[in-house]
Amino acid sequence: MNERTGDVYRLVFELTARATDVPYDKFLDELVEGLAAHYGAHVCRVHVGDDQRYAASADAAGRVAALDSTDRARFDTLDVMLAEEVKNDGVLRTALDLDGGAELVNFLARSLQTPETFAFPLVARGDAFGAITLYLPDAYPFEEADVRGLQAIGNVLFAAANRDGVAKAGAAVPVTSDKLRAYQETLEEVAKILDELLFLTDAKTVLLLDSQGDFISKRGAESRYSSTDFATVVASGFAASRRLAGLYGTQEVHSVTHEGDTESVFVIEVAERALLAIIYSDHNAPALVSRWTQSAASRLRGHYEALTEARVL
């Protein structure tokens, strides 16, 4: 599992923080190089618009360049086909999804030592306008937060591509370096609050997530369960508890506690679409855990709007 999965939004904005400070082509090069290094991809490419050729490519070991002309042409064709499929319907794809998928996977494994291939749609304002293709040497390294984070790059790319022109009706609002820096500063403030809560409560883990179960920020030890599954269960459990309470006439449910034999989970609403969850041991004082978590949630509300604006740009 990718150890930085829970921090995927920080990764995205670290990679794109220079989007308005450097030439667009250089920004694309830095983007694919950063993504390739982060995921250990042998090759990473980005496709934008209707061009049949990739806009930028990272191939640090020169694997594609080392292919003979026939195999290189076949790889380039495969890459374009994969990107086009993703741009057409905005759905994540693998090489297996193409016609002759098994044969193509075998070709990639043999020629580039990349048995795993994934293409993510670049989406802005609900429309797919490009794709990121990653050719990986090992198994699927992503969690749901990674998928959403990679897709979020689309808004930044779209804004960077149109920053020098006149904005059209319905176009994305141009991103400024100040906005991106402000986002990172907000993330740092959020991290300080979570670190403080972790220290005060002696909890095992604290995490801020949205109502769909995606991580915004996380501190503490890894859960013995899948991080994605756990976050999804937390968000779903809170929604179910609120709905159940509503059936019995209670509309104001803002927190839920789940008690286990050795660990408990306290979940509290931070904002309309954000939750704060804290996992603590049975020796902790529940009343103090609740009080400190409520205090942290109140402080986090002041930062949530800035986080939300930056994530959707």
Span 293-307, pLDDT tens digits: 888 888 888 777 666
In percent, the amount of the chain with pLDDT more than 70 equals: 69
* pLDDT at residue 173, as a whole number: 43
Q: Which is higher by pLDDT, 137 or 187? A: 137
* pLDDT at residue 181, as a whole number: 65
Q: Which of 290, 45, 46 is nearest to 154 (CA)?
A: 46
- Rank 98-102, 143-147, 176-180, 284-288 by mean pLDDT and report only the highest: 98-102
* pLDDT at residue 1, as a whole number: 41
Domain ranges of the chain: 5-174, 178-312
Mean pLDDT, rounded, for 210-235? 72
CA distance 235 to 256: 11
Q: Which is higher by pLDDT, 233 or 45? A: 45
Is 60 exceeded by the pLDDT of residue 229?
A: yes
CA distance 201 to 263: 13
* pLDDT at residue 283, as a whole number: 65
**77-81, 107-111, 281-285: lowest mean pLDDT where?**
281-285
The residues that bridge with 133 in the sheet, in sequence order, are 45, 119
Check if 5-174 and 178-312 are the same fold.
Answer: yes
Under 8 Å between Cβ of 151 and 123: yes
Per-residue burial over 91-111, b = 16 or more CB atoms within 10 Å of its CB, e = otherwise:
eebebeebeeeeebbebbeeb
pTM over 0.85: no
The confidence band for 282, taking pLDDT boundaries of 50, 70 and 90, is low
DSSP character string of 149-185: HHHHHHHHHHHHHTTTSPPPTTPPPPP-HHHHHHHHH
- Rank 13-22, 90-99, 137-146, 182-191 by mean pLDDT and report only the highest: 90-99
Q: Which is higher by pLDDT, 12 or 172? A: 12
Kindly report the backbone phi and psi dihedral angles of residue 103, in degrees, each rounded to the nearest multiple of 5, phi listed first: -65, -40
CA distance 275 to 211: 7
* pLDDT at residue 2, as a whole number: 45
Per-residue burial over 112-147, b = 16 or more CB atoms within 10 Å of its CB, e = otherwise:
bebbbbbbbbbbbeeebbbbbbbbbeeeebbbbbbb
Which tokens in the block code for residue 70?
A: 């026939």
Q: Which is higher by pLDDT, 57 or 13? A: 57
Give the other-Cβ count within 10 Å of 222's Cβ.
13
CA distance 131 to 46: 6
CA angle 16, 21, 27 (to 5 degrees): 50
CA angle 267, 270, 273 (to 5 degrees): 100
Under 8 Å between Cβ of 117 and 137: no
Mean pLDDT, rounded, for 21-35? 80
Q: Does domain 178-312 have CATH number 3.20.20.70?
A: no
Torsion, CA 287, CA 290, CA 295, CA 297, rounded to 10:
180
Under 8 Å between Cβ of 258 and 289: no
* pLDDT at residue 62, as a whole number: 92
CATH superfamily of 5-174: GAF domain (3.30.450.40)
Q: Which is higher by pLDDT, 175 or 246? A: 246
CA distance 132 to 128: 11
User: CB-based contacts of 308: which residues, under 8 Å, 6+ apart?
Assistant: 273
Q: Which is higher by pLDDT, 139 or 254? A: 254
Mean pLDDT, rounded, for 58-72? 92
The confidence band for 47, taking pLDDT boundaries of 50, 70 and 90, is very high
The residues that bridge with 43 in the sheet, in sequence order, are 135
